[in-house]
């Protein structure tokens, strides 16, 4: 044996051990899903890189580096901003994922988010008679309520009129967009900038200590609200009869009905809760000092659609949604720095879409995971004997 082999041997051993562990992990259900999601992410980022390489080769490597290192570009400011972008899409992700669990596809997160945003801003600007400590809470609750109503409508339509929620929520997205713009123009308009007026400072969600960790970022307690929502939804889905019933309807509507679950009411509840979550996300974005204002241009807000990506990549599991929400917040944040090169931030949109497409091809990636670890899993078996 030559010296060369001896030098590499320890490294090879560590590699093999690591691969064996991962191989074992890939055998479990959760492990298989997580690893195939990670492969989808890598494939998506590579696709974005490829596009940059084709169109602007000179900036491509710089672009890839910014995407990967985004949140660390400017120390605590960029890291705090990354968490700030992650917070609302974690919550819209929860909204979409929660509806998924009941077998419903909530494309309407955008509309629910929009009405929530308007309710929060309306209360934040106009209801100055509220006591200081309560103002932001009332604004958040108003957003949750408005979102819930906007989720209730497609829920009722689905349960009692058999209207497919995909179509009705899309129609409600556009309805919400136009109505909210009308509402902004009528009640809380800043005509100078053609956007909603700033909320008063008592209505801003408090920083809750985050300003000490991230002094340069405009992040606020909204991030904690997002984490709280994850915990609540986790408990509802895993530990309560109510959550179990909703999931039962999602798995098999007829079986659930047979077992005594009212599947119509479950549908209504599920959409209402999903709407409430998206409404909360609207409050998280717009109850800030950072200058978030509702624009009066005719375009849908993106956070709801991001929620779809978050939920799909997170496999609708609350903890998976937390993780994928953080991931998408991370690359979204990178997207802003990407504009310093000659790229539009749409590169991130393309990457996100590619990741979702690849995660739809879960079969392909699951097979790939199996292939990668096939050798190592057999090694593990060999060790056991």
Q: Is 354 in the site for other proteins (CB under 8 A)?
A: yes
**Contacts by residues 255-264 (CB-CB < 8 Å, ≥ 24 positions apart):** 264/159, 264/160
Closest contact distance (angstroms) between CB of 349 and other proteins is 3
Which residues are registered as beta bridge partners of 196? Answer: 189
Identified binder of other proteins from the candidate list 164, 238, 375, 381, rule CB under 8 A:
164
| Subset of residues 304 to 323 that bind other proteins, contact rule: CB under 8 A | 305, 308-309, 312
* Secondary structure class of 36 (helix, strand, coil): helix
**CB burial string 199-230: b at 16+ within 10 A, e below:** bbebbbbbbeebbeebeebbbbbbbbbbeebb
Closest residue by Cα to residue 118 from 150, 78, 159: 150
- Which helix H or strand E contains 275, and what residues bound it? helix 263-286
* Residues 190-219, mask of contacts with other proteins (x by CB under 8 A): ------------------------------
CB nearer to other proteins: give 168 or 198.
168
Identified binder of other proteins from the candidate list 30, 346, 374, 378, rule CB under 8 A:
346
For 34, 206, 313, 323, the CA distances from 319, given in Å and listed in that order, are: 12, 25, 11, 6
Q: Is 251 in the site for other proteins (CB under 8 A)?
A: no
CB nearer to other proteins: give 100 or 269.
100
Identified binder of other proteins from the candidate list 45, 53, 68, 179, rule CB under 8 A:
179
Identified binder of other proteins from the candidate list 15, 65, 72, 174, rule CB under 8 A:
174
Closest contact distance (angstroms) between CB of 223 and other proteins is 25
Contact 275, 148 (CB under 8 A): yes
Closest residue by Cα to residue 188 from 110, 112, 278, 286: 286
Q: Is 167 in the site for other proteins (CB under 8 A)?
A: yes
* Residues 30-59, mask of contacts with other proteins (x by CB under 8 A): ---------------------x---xx---
Q: What is the size of the binding site for other proteins (CB under 8 A)? A: 48
CB nearer to other proteins: give 16 or 362.
362
Apex CA 199: angle with CA 198 and CA 203, to 5°?
Answer: 160
* Secondary structure class of 280 (helix, strand, coil): helix
| Subset of residues 62 to 91 that bind other proteins, contact rule: CB under 8 A | none
Q: Is 228 in the site for other proteins (CB under 8 A)?
A: no
CA within 13 Å, CB half, 130: 19
Q: What is the CA radius of gyration of the chain?
A: 23
Closest contact distance (angstroms) between CB of 37 and other proteins is 13
Terminal-to-terminal C-alpha distance of the chain: 28
Sequence-separated (6 or more) residues with CB below 8 Å from residue 221: 205, 206, 207, 208, 210
What is the widest separation between alpha-carbon atoms in the chain? 83
CB nearer to other proteins: give 138 or 166.
166
| Subset of residues 262 to 301 that bind other proteins, contact rule: CB under 8 A | 298-299
Using the contact rule CB under 8 A, the part of the chain among 155-163, 217-225, 236-244, 314-322 near other proteins is: 155-163
Binding site for other proteins (CB under 8 A): 51, 55-56, 105, 107, 157, 161-164, 166-168, 170-175, 178-179, 181-182, 185, 298-299, 305, 308-309, 312, 343-344, 346-350, 352-354, 356-357, 359-364
């Amino acid at each position: 044996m030559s010296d060369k082999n001896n030098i590499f041997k320890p490294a090879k051993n560590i590699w093999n051990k690591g691969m064996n562990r991962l191989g074992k992990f890939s055998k479990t259900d959760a492990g298989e899903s997580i690893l195939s999601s990670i492969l989808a992410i890598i494939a998506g980022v590579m696709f974005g890189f490829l596009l940059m390489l084709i169109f602007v080769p000179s900036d491509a490597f710089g672009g890839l580096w910014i995407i990967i290192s985004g949140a660390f570009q400017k120390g605590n400011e960029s890291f705090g901003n990354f968490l700030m972008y992650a917070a609302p899409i974690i919550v819209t992700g929860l909204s979409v994922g929660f509806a998924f669990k009941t077998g419903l596809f909530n494309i309407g997160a955008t509309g629910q988010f929009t009405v929530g945003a308007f309710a929060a801003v309306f209360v934040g600007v106009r209801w100055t008679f509220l006591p200081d400590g309560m103002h932001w809470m009332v604004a958040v609750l108003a957003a949750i309520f408005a979102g819930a109503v906007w989720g209730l409508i497609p829920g009722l339509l689905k349960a009692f009129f058999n209207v497919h929620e995909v179509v009705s929520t899309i129609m409600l997205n556009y309805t919400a967009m136009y109505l909210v713009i009308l509402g902004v123009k009528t009640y809380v308009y800043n005509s100078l900038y053609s956007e909603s007026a700033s909320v008063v400072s008592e209505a801003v969600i408090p920083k809750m200590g985050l300003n000490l960790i991230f002094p340069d970022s405009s992040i606020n307690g909204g991030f904690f609200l997002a984490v709280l929502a994850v915990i609540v939804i986790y408990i509802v889905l895993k530990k309560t009869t109510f959550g179990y019933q909703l999931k039962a309807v999602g798995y098999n509507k007829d079986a659930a009905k047979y077992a005594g679950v009212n599947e119509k009411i479950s549908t209504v509840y599920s959409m209402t809760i999903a709407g409430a979550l998206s409404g909360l996300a609207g409050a998280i974005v717009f109850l800030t000092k950072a200058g978030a204002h509702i624009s009066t241009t005719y375009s849908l807000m993106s956070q709801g659609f991001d929620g779809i990506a978050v939920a799909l990549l997170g496999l609708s599991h609350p903890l998976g949604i937390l993780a994928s929400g953080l991931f998408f917040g991370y690359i979204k944040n990178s997207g802003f720095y990407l504009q310093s090169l000659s790229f539009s931030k749409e590169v991130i949109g393309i990457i996100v879409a590619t990741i979702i497409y690849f995660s739809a091809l879960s079969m392909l990636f699951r097979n790939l995971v199996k292939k990668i670890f096939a050798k190592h899993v057999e090694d593990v078996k060999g060790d056991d004997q």
